[in-house]
A and B are shown apart, each in its own frame.
Chain A
Amino acid sequence: MNKHEVSDIELVKKVLTGEIEYFSELVERYEKLVFSYLLSRLNDIQEVEDIVQDTFVKAFRHLASYDCERKFAGWLVTISRNLLIDSRRKAGRNIASTDLVTDVLLSDSLKETNAHPPEIIIRRERFRQIVNMIHELSEDLRTPFLLRVVNELPYQEIAEILNLPLQTVKNRIFKARGVLREKRETYEEMS
């Protein structure tokens, strides 16, 4: 993700010298990544929002500890994963999940337009199927697949961010695609 004019490390250095507004650029670059990561692992959209926020605030507070040898995206995902673990631990004591991510994905897609031409209805139905199919995938398959599709990250970068071997990432994405393909064929046969 170093396609930007100013590198992540330069932004970090600027923030550390007191120019905190440069941190918003880092948020701009990686908010969707952290959001997608959490979306693949949580059922509560409100919790996704909260942990995205906590992830960046925590990253800012501990920016002086950031190891410039690491990818900033990978560091953020690590923070996010730790917060997620804490959140799940708390949820074990206080389960209060409200808006399921799947429901939000489906309801938000309905808001794209009020008009209902046949093409939009077909696309919406297809989207509903995909969301439901992805929901049935295991987390291990869902996370690299969403990072690949939603964030359009190369396999290698996903491997670095998730701290997994490249081949593992490839295998998981292929497996996710294979499962989705089977479900799609089953649906097409039925319809």
Chain B
Amino acid sequence: MKKCPEKEILMTFADGELDKSELAEIAAHLKTCQTCAREVSGMSEDDNLLREGVNNVFTRHRVNERIMNQIRSNPVVEAAPVKKPFWQRILLPALAIGLILLAAIMMIPAERKYHGTVDSISFQALNTGATVDGMSVAADRVFPLSSCCAHQLNGDFLFVARHQAPTEFRMQGIATVKFENAVPTFEEADIELDLVNGEGLQIMVNGEKVELSAGMVNFRSSPKAVSASQTISTDNAAVAVEPAHMAATTAIVVEEPVASAVVIIDNPVDTTPASASETAAASSATADDVVEPVDAVDHITNPFTEEPLGDGR
């Protein structure tokens, strides 16, 4: 005797769903296998019994007359809702909501925007007495601030932070500045900061997040620190930086004469000049290529006044 088919095949046979090729094969098998034949007939008998029983119940519980009576009493077919195309169902409402939101946003008074981070930042001295890492720097020299190293600044500097639009701010005083996580960071800072131009800017000063906006802000690192103006007055040349719109806050009083020369920051010699005269002496002892003549500062332009720097001697 051939092997008996799977139960599912027998069930499919009982349901009359086998295709013709299998149907003949199973029918032949059932003629020779009493077990499978009894299985199939048992299923069919149960199905018939169940069908008859449910039909009996159905016959007794039909509601066709009730249905038609209810319909006849109120033969109203509701109109089909108009099926709007996709752009009417989804796009138009979305557009309307978008316009409403846009209008709402535009009606909100504009708040000052702050840069979270900046793409790049550079600084330059605003007078000839300013030092970077203890060395005097030429006022026209622009230093990019990188994430790899910090600089000790002392003096009056202009910072330009670039994001979507540049932001310019002024720093007066002493600070260690670095560019950390794309945020200008001032440590051990004893400084005054003033936003000169552009949007507000987020910076870190002495470990605290500061949102720099218009108006001068003072920071002190410790009680021993001297004020920015004092620091500048002892070291710097007589440079009056007084843009018209910030005259009250940015005037610098210079008490000593300007240095006769400016040492390039790359010069490794004598990183801590005590005064302008010492700086000049030290620089004159080195090679000519690291010393700029005093006249070199004459063509440097103050970014606030557009006037030449270095004429305060």
A146 with B68: CB separation less than 8 A: no
B81 to chain A, nearest CB (A): 7
Q: Which of B51, B76, B81 contacts A150 (CB 8 A)?
A: B51
Q: Which of B56, B64, B80 contacts A108 (CB 8 A)?
A: B56
Q: Is B57 an interface residue (CB 8 A)?
A: yes
Given the known inter-chain contacts A23-B68, A60-B77, A127-B50, please indicate yes or no for A109 contacting B63, CB distance below 8 A: no
Contact with B along A42-74 (1 / 0, CB 8 A): 000100110011001100111111000000000
Is A48 in contact with B61, judged by CB distance below 8 angstroms?
yes
Q: Judge whether A184 is part of the interface by a CB distance below 8 angstroms.
A: yes
Which listed residue (B57, B68, B72, B77) contacts A27, Cβ 8 A? Answer: B68
- Quick one: given A20-B75, A49-B63, are A184 and B54 in contact (CB under 8 Å)? no
- At the interface with chain A, which of B41-49, B162-170, B205-213, B268-276? B41-49
Residues of A within 8 A of B (CB-CB), count: 53
With A105-B54, A150-B51 as given contacts, are A53 and B46 in contact (CB-CB < 8 Å)?
Answer: no
Residue B55, interface by CB 8 Å: yes
Interface string of B177-189 (1 = CB under 8 A from A): 0000000000000
Complex interface residues of chain B between 67 and 118 (CB less than 8 A to chain A): 67-68, 70-72, 75-81
Inter-chain contact B42/A184, CB cutoff 8 Å: yes
User: Is B15's beta carbon under 8 Å from chain A?
Assistant: yes
Q: Pick the contact of A126: B49, B57, B78 (CB < 8 A).
A: B49
| Residue numbers in B under 8 Å from A83 (CB-CB) | none
Contact string against B for A residues 157-191, beta-carbon threshold 8 Å, 1 for contact and 0 otherwise: 00000000000001001100110110010000000
Partner of A61, one of B39, B46, B77: B77
Asked if residues A173 and B11 are in contact (CB atoms below 8 Å), the reply is yes
> Contact check: which of A35, A60, A184 meets B71 at CB < 8 Å?
A60
Residues of B contacting A177 in the complex (Cβ-Cβ under 8 angstroms): 7, 11, 43
B66 CB-CB contact with A under 8 Å: yes
Determine the distance from Cα of A181 to Cα of B63 in the docked complex, in whole angstroms: 34
| A124-143 contact mask (Cβ, 8 Å, vs B): 1 or 0 | 00110011001000000000
A53 B70 Cβ-Cβ under 8 A: yes
CB distance from A33 to the nearest CB of B (A): 10
State whether the Cβ of B255 lies closer than 8 Å to any Cβ in chain A: no
Q: Looking across the interface, which residue of chain A has its beta carbon closest to that of B67?
A: A56
Residue on A with the closest CB to B70?
Answer: A57
Contacts of A15 in B (CB 8 A): 77
Q: Say whether A35 contacts B80, CB under 8 Å.
A: no
Complex contacts, B15 vs chain A, CB 8 Å: 148, 155, 173
Minimal beta-carbon separation of A182 from chain B (angstroms): 11
Asked whether, in the complex, the Cβ of B7 is within 8 Å of the Cβ of A178, the reply is: yes
B19-69 contacts to A, CB under 8 A, are: 39, 42-43, 45-47, 49-51, 53-58, 60-64, 66-68
A selection of 12 A-B contacts at a CB cut-off of 8 Å is: A27-B67, A31-B58, A31-B63, A32-B55, A35-B61, A45-B61, A61-B77, A64-B79, A65-B78, A155-B17, A174-B8, A181-B42
Residues on A facing B (Cβ under 8 Å): 15-16, 20-21, 23-24, 27-28, 31-32, 35-36, 39, 45, 48-49, 52-53, 56-57, 60-65, 104-105, 108-109, 111-112, 123, 126-127, 130-131, 134, 146, 148-150, 152, 154-155, 170, 173-174, 177-178, 180-181, 184
- Given pairs A48-B61, A60-B71, A109-B56, 7 additional interface contacts (CB within 8 A): A60-B77, A61-B76, A111-B60, A123-B49, A126-B46, A178-B7, A181-B42
B residues bordering A, Cβ < 8 Å?
A: 7-8, 11-12, 15, 17, 39, 42-43, 45-47, 49-51, 53-58, 60-64, 66-68, 70-72, 75-81
